[in-house]
Amino acid sequence: MTTPTAPDLKCSGVCKNFGPVQAVADISFEIPSGTFFSILGPSGCGKTTLMRMIAGFEEPSAGDIFIKGRSVLNVPPNRRNVKMVFQHLALFPMMNVFENIAYGLRCIGTDRDEIARKVQDVLNRVALPDVGEREIHQLSGGQKQRIAIARCMVLDPDVLLLDEPLGALDLKLREAMKIELKLLQNQFDTTFVYITHDQSEALVMSDRVAVMNDGRFEQIGTPQELYHRPQTAFVAGFVGDSNRWSGKVTGTRGAEVTLETEGGTVVRSRPGDGTKVATGDAVELFVRPEFIELVHRTPRQKRTGLSGKVDNLLFNGANSRALVRLATGDLVEVDVTLTGGTDDVKPGEEVSLSWSTKNAVCFPARAAS
Amino acid sequence: MVNQERRLLPGAGSVMKHRDARRLSLILLFMPLALWIVLLILLPHIGMGILSLREKIGPRQYEFGLANYIAFFQEPIYWHIMARTAVISLLVTVLALIVGFPVSYYIAKIAGPRTRGAMFMFCLIPLWVSDLIRAFGWILLLRETGVISGILQWTGLASAPVELLYNDAAVVVGLVYTVMLFMIVPLTSTLDGMDDAMIEAGYNLGGNGLTVLRRIIIPYAMPGIVSGSIIVFMLTAGSYLTPVLLGGKYSSWFTQTIYDQFITRYNWESGAAFGFLLLFFTSFVVWIGLKLSGQSLSSTVARS
Ligand SMILES: Nc1ncnc2c1ncn2[C@@H]1O[C@H](COP(=O)(O)OP(=O)(O)OP(=O)(O)O)[C@@H](O)[C@H]1O
Ligand SMILES: [Mg+2]
């Protein structure tokens, strides 16, 4: 039976093959109650397939899925208490807003007064109390979004699945909806499983994020963990911006690794969590632009950092970047503050770059990449 | 509209000239259609309309009046044939819908792209041969010495030759077969435009197969259903060859009555009036259908 501590959603060893293509390969995870859980991965990595298996539209080739501690493998989609917000929302155009939301309640045989009350209640909660009589095409993109969520939430699901629901919206609205979704999740206090290929969506909204690649989960953790303590080269490269170089280990001392990039720059770094590198290994090095300190170089000043020359400035307000060409030819992206004052860096200027060893992470290079 | 554009583009002389040229080419483009409508649809109907309003009061003596129409209402046999035609046509429409809907659903939603093309082809092939040949095909199958009768005797299900022709069932079967494509094409195109996610959402929100069909698929396909039904009903009610060949002389199809008036009795005036009555009556049935299904003609025609 259901135990009070059972996670809302649990997958163990779930696989899915489409003929020779393995879309989802051996995925296991648990989501505790009330979590905003994101699955982040590039296009075609199997996110939708995983979600469709949870919703019951695809049968896993292997493994088991538990909702509230109960296996749902033999439960048809309409009997699973997992609701889904589709990528293009799939609101029913032939029904008005009220009917769209009432559809699910009608299916479970709720009586009329109860339906009217519940629909109004959920409309209030998504802050659209007066749209019940509107047709779907009379709503704005963001309103449709909220109705699609309301249509699921009125059924009080154990888990709400969202498949890139912001994909169809324009940039401004997407930013606004990010915050709104997070607030809605707080308010409904339901487990949300959110699929996206946009790392900023995943980082901003989620309590926990799973990074998916090629049908597998690379790492599951809080956004901070993924960002600061990536466990694989893929995570380090995919989550957030990073400078990325290939190189070879020239020496190790304790937890510190000295390596030489292909361009010939010698850098000290630390191996990523749970990985081991030895002298002579091919590695990939990741350094985030915001961890690099950029100093104007005065002649004759002796510095420990790498010297280089500013190639270009990419001005973008608070997110401005400088592109620095090192003496060895490697190009480095560095976050800079451009205040408009006289001590801003300028293209052509000689600078020196430095970062602390703990912010330079290296991983053994994979044969494939 | 044009005035507004002019205001937006003041003094653009060359633009104006350009636009005139565009308008001319547009007119030329629509010329064949316009000619077709005027010469082949409008003119004959006007001619028939005038003809149907001529009363014969003596040899070669005519007067303007409604006598031809009144004659129809005074003779119950005409009435019965008209009602019979309408009822059987409705039956054919419903059967075509019942058979066509699953086929369309399969073509639009389940079949892969290659099967889809093949199935469309199979629906189309019967249209490549003429009405006449198709009807004779059915006759070959259904007549006393035909294929089905032969099989029944061979398997021992029947002891003597069975006549399957010359009854209403044969007419209905033949008509359903003839008009099927006109039901399948609009239905398939409406269902094709339906996002699969909508059906999945229907299940996801707790609906079973029946609920999804009744609350989501059918309402969505309604414009296609209505326009397919209109076409099928009109084609059936106006068909001549199939009912005559499969139903025999006494199949009592209204087009046969019209044919009789024109050819056998050489009473063109009354034939024209009957033709118009058929048109009015079927239009009336279609109008009721549209009202009942809550669709408008323009919306259904535009959707399919
Ligand atoms: N029905 C199917 N038949 C065969 N292959 C499929 C099928 N559905 C998905 N695939 C394959 O499985 C892989 C994963 O697909 P999936 O739709 O899950 O990707 P995704 O992560 O959702 O990508 P996106 O971000 O672009 O939506 C892809 O390589 C895809 O081609
Ligand atoms: Mg997807």
Residues in a beta bridge with A247? A261, A283
Domain edge (last residue) among A185, A215, A233: A233
Three-class SS string for chain B?
Answer: CHHHHHHHCCCCHHHHHHHHHHHHHHHHHHHHHHHHHHHHHHHHHHHHHHHHCEEEEECCEEEECCHHHHHHHHCHHHHHHHHHHHHHHHHHHHHHHHHHHHHHHHHHHHCCHHHHHHHHHHHHHHHHCCHHHHHHHHHHHHCCCCHHHHHHHHHCCCCCCCCCCCCHHHHHHHHHHHHHHHHHHHHHHHHHCCCHHHHHHHHHCCCCHHHHHHHHHHHHHHHHHHHHHHHHHHHHHCCCHHHHHHHCCCCCCHHHHHHHHHHHCCCHHHHHHHHHHHHHHHHHHHHHHHHHHCCCHHHHHHHC
Query: How far apart (Å, rounded) are the C-alpha atoms in residues A264 and A262?
Result: 5
Q: Which range, A30-44, A290-304, B147-161, has the best average confidence (pLDDT)?
A: A30-44
Q: Is the pLDDT of residue A332 over 60?
A: yes
Shared domain check, A225 and A269:
no
Reported ipTM exceeds the 0.90 cut = no
Using DSSP, state whether A278 is helix, strand or coil: coil
Instruction: Tell me which chain B residue has its CA closest to the CA of residue A150.
Output: B205
Single-letter amino acid, residue B58: G
Furthest-apart CA atoms within chain A: distance in Å: 84
Chain A neighbors of B215, CB-CB under 8 A: 103, 106
Strands (E), A146-300: 159-163, 191-196, 208-213, 216-221, 243-253, 256-261, 266-271, 282-287, 293-296
In a domain, residue A203? The reply is yes
> How much is the pLDDT for A1?
46
Asked if residues A105 and A118 have their Cβ atoms less than 8 Å apart, the reply is: yes
Question: Does A94 sit within 8 Å of B206, measured CB to CB?
Answer: no
Q: Half-sphere exposure of residue A240, counting CA atoms within 13 Å on the CB side?
A: 25
For chain A, the helix, strand and coil percentages under 3-state DSSP, each to the nearest 5: 25, 35, 40
How many cross-chain Cβ pairs, A to B, lie less than 8 Å apart? 63
**Is the CB of A45 inside a 6 Å radius of any atom of ligand 1?**
yes
Q: Left if phi > 0, otherwise alpha if psi is -120 to 50, otherwise beta: which for A164?
A: left
Minimal Cα distance from B223: which residue of A?
A: A94
Question: Which of A22, A48, A214 most suits a substitution to test ligand 1, by most atoms within 8 Å of the C-beta?
Answer: A48
Using the predicted structure, report yes or no on whether residue A84 has a pLDDT greater than 90: yes
A359 and A270 co-located in one domain: yes
* Residue A35 contacts residue A29 (beta carbons within 8 Å): no
Residue identifier of the C-alpha nearest atom 3 of ligand 1: A18
Compute the average pLDDT of residues A257-272. Answer: 86
The CA R_g of chain B, rounded to the nearest whole Å, is 25
Place of tokens 């490549």: B128
* pTM score of the predicted model: 0.80
CA of B188 to the centre of ligand 2 (A): 26
Q: How far is A94 from chain B (nearest CA, A)?
A: 6
Which position has the higher pLDDT, B1 or A318?
A318
Pair of tokens at residue B187 = 């239905």
Taking the C-alpha atoms of residue A247 and residue A269, their distance in angstroms, rounded to an integer, is 12
Residue A3 lies in a domain: no
Same domain assignment for residues A174 and A214 = yes
How many Cβ atoms are within 10 Å of A319's Cβ, its own excluded?
Answer: 12
The alpha carbon of residue A55 is apart from the nearest alpha carbon of chain B, in Å, by 7
CA dihedral B119, B125, B126, B132 (to 10 degrees): 180
At residue A151, the 3 state secondary structure works out as helix
CATH: 1.10.10.10, 1.20.1560.10, 1.10.287.470, 1.10.3720.10. Which one for B71-303? 1.10.3720.10
Residue A48 pLDDT: 92
Domain range spanning residue A251?
Answer: 241-367
One domain, residues A166 and A53: yes
Q: Do A155 and A263 belong to one domain?
A: no
The residue whose two tokens read 């059972």 is A6
Q: Which residues contact A322 (CB under 8 A, 6 or more apart)?
A: A294, A310, A312, A313, A314, A333, A334, A336, A345, A351
Subunit contact A78:B207, Cβ cutoff 8 A: yes
Residue bearing the bigger pLDDT, A109 or B62: A109
CATH for A157: 3.40.50.300
Q: By three-state DSSP, how is residue A41 classified?
A: coil
Domain shared by A35 and A156, yes or no = yes
- Nearest alpha-carbon partner for B222 in B151, B295, B289, B170: B295
Position A367 confidence tier, pLDDT thresholds 50, 70, 90: low
Cα separation, A305 vs A350, in Å, equals: 12
Query: Is A81 a domain residue?
Result: yes
Which of A16, A43, A47, A193 is the best mutation target for the ligand 1 pocket, counting ligand atoms within 8 Å of the beta carbon and taking the most? A47
Shared domain check, A246 and A226 = no
Question: Both A315 and A195 in a single domain?
Answer: no
Smallest Cα distance from A92 to chain B, Å: 7
How many domains would you assign to chain A? 2
DSSP letters for A294-350:
EEEPPTT---SSEEEEEEEEE--GGG-EEEEEETTS-EEEEE----SSTTS--TT-E
Q: Is A300 left (phi over 0), alpha (psi -120 to 50) or beta?
A: left
Q: Which of A80-84, A104-108, B247-251 has the lowest mean pLDDT?
A: B247-251
Pairing status of strand A216-221 against strand A208-213: antiparallel
* CB A308, CB A326: distance < 8 Å: yes
A347 shares its domain with A228: no
User: Tens of pLDDT along A13-25?
Assistant: 999 999 999 999 9
Q: Which helix (H) or strand (E) holds A23?
A: strand A21-31
Closest CA to B70 of B52, B47, B51: B52
Q: For chain B, 304 residues long, give each residue's pLDDT as a single digit of tens.
A: 444 444 444 455 566 678 888 888 888 888 888 888 888 888 988 988 888 888 877 777 778 888 888 888 888 888 899 999 999 999 999 999 999 999 999 999 998 888 888 888 888 887 788 888 888 888 888 888 888 888 888 888 888 888 888 888 889 999 999 899 899 999 999 999 999 999 999 999 999 999 999 999 999 999 999 999 999 999 999 998 889 888 887 778 888 888 888 888 888 888 899 999 999 999 999 999 888 888 777 766 655 4
* Residue A227 domain-assigned (yes or no): yes
Domain boundary among A209, A233, A257: A233
Nearest residue in B to A108, CA atom? B206
**Do residue A201 and residue A284 come from a single domain?**
no
A178/A149 same-domain check: yes
| Contact status, residue A258 vs residue A249, Cβ threshold 8 Å | yes
* Of the residues A188, A217, A233, the one at which a domain ends: A233
Token pair for A41:
């991965």
| Number of C-beta neighbours around residue A238 at 10 A | 21
Residue B79, phi then psi, degrees to nearest 5: -55, -45
Q: Quick one: A218 and A303 in the same domain?
A: no
Average pLDDT over residues A212-240: 92
Whose atoms come closest to the Cα of A197: which ligand? 1
